[in-house]
């Protein structure tokens, strides 16, 4: 029995990870802030995409969300009460630059100054994500991520953020899950802005790679001591069988989901050999781009929830591969139909650690959505507690095995807007009644507090 598995439930807590391990909780602007059209904020692509009929479950929009814009003091006080030392949140690009570039919206600047100052006043370290999918609508009208000009637009935005907030914020993440916002938004069309096909997807990928490197360079040039990273969605990929076709299909999906953005930032180029559809991306690569793609990240954020089982099929264009849903495989899964498979996070930490250019890894998102029932103003979410405990044991296993894991952030602080699934999935450690905005700390929130205090 390994040392990791010999730790009893009573003995398993944050102290097992060492004193320098980073613990936190995460949120994002478009999913939690609400206040989408007040105090000078411009529209984002999610504000308008969500208004289209049948795009979001139950016709939900992010317009109100969990009202972090109005409840930030209460929510930060909750973080403090749970003894969580680090808070990851994002800045809404269109809240501080309503048109994406040009005129600055001072009320938006003032809001984030208040959030940062409130964190610091409560001894909570702010970790800021610069882009969490809410592109200003005005820039989308100009082509968005498919337009190479976004490198200049993004540079202006990053420069404003670092010069405005960099005196107090030392931890920065450039992009949140670029594979998701390019793949779902520009290839599949199921996320904002709703584009489909390779024509917009391939340039969007390349420009996002250039922006994640450019953003990191800007921050480092402005504040040398800043800690800069970017976050990458990742799923442990396994073939449906031992057949050569299923294995090859799994390798293609792995290249797409797990390698497409991290490898070019490390100077390895795009995984074209394993994913031939990327061959056409070369038409968007200009002389000198190979160096512009390089990003000297201080850390890499990984966001893992599950594994995916992949089978070969001729019916899916380009990929000849399909993901078999968890419910079809009849395995235990969350309300997102994501398999509960704790070993996945170990495998992804191990995979990212294998890159020599990766200095350290922080799990910047991990969590689960389950059906929460309120009884006597309490929510006994045992399934979420078991999920977090199981995944954290695998994080500890990875650390014990010498992999480069240095921190862990739970997703999410509060229940919030979960993109095309609307308000149905609840990921929060804090329950939100979206009609009254009343907050209730779930049992998982109290469990996390005890875990951090060394009582679990």
What is residue 9's predicted lDDT score, i.e. its pLDDT? 79
What is residue 2's predicted lDDT score, i.e. its pLDDT? 44
pLDDT tens-digit profile of 101-158? 999 999 999 999 999 999 999 999 999 999 999 999 999 999 999 999 999 999 999 9
Q: Give the chain's mean pLDDT.
A: 97
| Residue 356: CA count within 13 A, CB half-sphere | 2
Neighbours of 207 (CB within 10 A): 24
Is the bond into 31 cis (omega within 30 degrees of 0)?
Answer: no
Fold of 14-452: TIM Barrel (3.20.20)
- Per-residue confidence band for 455, with pLDDT thresholds at 50, 70 and 90: confident
What is residue 8's predicted lDDT score, i.e. its pLDDT? 86
**Spatial separation of the C-alpha atoms in residues 342 and 365, rounded to whole Å:** 14
- In terms of Cβ atoms closer than 10 Å to its own Cβ (0-12, 13-18, 19+), residue 198 is middle
What is residue 7's predicted lDDT score, i.e. its pLDDT? 84
| Catalytic residue positions, numbered | 177, 365
Chain length of the chain: 456
pLDDT tens-digit profile of 268-301? 999 999 999 999 999 999 999 999 999 999 999 9
Residues 265, 206: contact at Cβ < 8 Å? no
Whether pLDDT at 3 is above 70: no
pLDDT tens-digit profile of 11-40? 899 999 999 999 999 999 999 999 999 999
SS3 readout for 166-228: CCCCCEEEEEECHHHHHHHHHHCCCCCCCCCCHHHHHHHHHHHHHHHHHHHHHHHHHCCCCEE
pTM of the model: 0.98
- Per-residue confidence band for 53, with pLDDT thresholds at 50, 70 and 90: confident
Whether pLDDT at 86 is above 60: yes
What is residue 174's predicted lDDT score, i.e. its pLDDT? 99
pLDDT tens-digit profile of 307-356? 999 999 999 999 999 999 999 999 999 999 999 999 999 999 999 999 99
pLDDT tens-digit profile of 164-191? 999 999 999 999 999 999 999 999 999 9
What is residue 358's predicted lDDT score, i.e. its pLDDT? 98
Q: What's the rounded mean pLDDT across residues 213-238? A: 98
**Spatial separation of the C-alpha atoms in residues 202 and 284, rounded to whole Å:** 8
User: Which residue has tokens 């959030």?
Assistant: 115
CA 9: distance to chain centroid?
Answer: 29
What is residue 120's predicted lDDT score, i.e. its pLDDT? 99
Residues 439, 421: contact at Cβ < 8 Å? no
Whether pLDDT at 76 is above 50: yes
């Amino acid at each position: 029995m390994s040392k990791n598995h010999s730790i009893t439930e009573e003995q398993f807590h944050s102290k097992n990870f060492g004193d320098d391990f980073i613990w936190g909780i995460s949120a994002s602007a478009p999913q939690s802030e609400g206040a989408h059209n007040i105090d000078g904020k411009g529209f984002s692509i999610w504000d308008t995409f969500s208004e289209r009929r049948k795009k979001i479950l139950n016709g939900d929009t992010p317009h109100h969300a969990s009202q972090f814009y109005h409840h930030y003091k209460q929510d930060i006080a909750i973080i403090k009460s749970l003894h969580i030392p680090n808070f990851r949140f994002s800045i809404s690009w269109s809240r501080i630059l309503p048109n994406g570039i040009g005129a600055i919206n001072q009320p938006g600047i003032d809001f984030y100054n208040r959030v940062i100052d409130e964190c610091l006043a409560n001894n909570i370290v702010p970790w800021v994500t610069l882009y969490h999918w809410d592109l200003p609508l005005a820039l989308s009208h100009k082509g968005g991520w498919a337009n190479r000009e976004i490198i200049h637009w993004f540079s202006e935005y990053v420069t404003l953020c670092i010069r405005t907030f960099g005196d107090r914020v030392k931890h920065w993440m450039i992009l949140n899950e670029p594979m998701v916002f390019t793949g779902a938004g520009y290839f599949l069309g199921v996320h904002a802005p709703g584009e489909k096909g390779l024509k917009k997807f391939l340039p969007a990928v390349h420009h996002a790679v250039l922006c994640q490197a450019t953003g990191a360079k800007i921050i480092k040039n402005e504040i040398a001591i800043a800690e800069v990273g970017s976050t990458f969605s990742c799923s442990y990929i396994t073939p449906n069988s031992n057949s050569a076709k299923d294995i090859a299909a799994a390798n293609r999906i792995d290249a797409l989901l797990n390698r497409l953005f991290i490898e070019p930032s490390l100077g390895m180029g795009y995984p074209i050999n394993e994913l031939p559809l990327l061959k056409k991306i070369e038409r968007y690569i200009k002389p000198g781009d190979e160096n512009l793609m390089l990003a000297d990240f201080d850390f890499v954020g990984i966001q893992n929830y599950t594994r995916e089982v992949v089978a070969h099929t001729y019916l899916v264009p380009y990929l000849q591969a399909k993901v078999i849903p968890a419910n079809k495989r009849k395995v235990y899964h969350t309300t997102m139909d994501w398999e509960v498979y704790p070993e996945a996070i170990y495998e992804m930490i191990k995979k990212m650690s294998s890159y020599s250019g990766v200095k350290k890894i922080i799990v910047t998102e991990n969590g689960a959505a389950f059906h929460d029932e309120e009884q006597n103003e309490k929510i006994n979410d045992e399934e979420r507690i078991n999920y977090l405990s199981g995944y954290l044991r695998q994080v500890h296993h990875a650390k014990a095995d010498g992999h480069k894991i240095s921190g862990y952030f739970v997703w999410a602080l509060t229940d919030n807007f979960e993109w095309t699934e609307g308000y149905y999935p609840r990921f929060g450690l804090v329950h939100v009644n979206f009609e009254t905005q009343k907050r209730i700390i779930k049992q998982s929130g109290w469990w996390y507090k005890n875990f951090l205090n060394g009582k679990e």
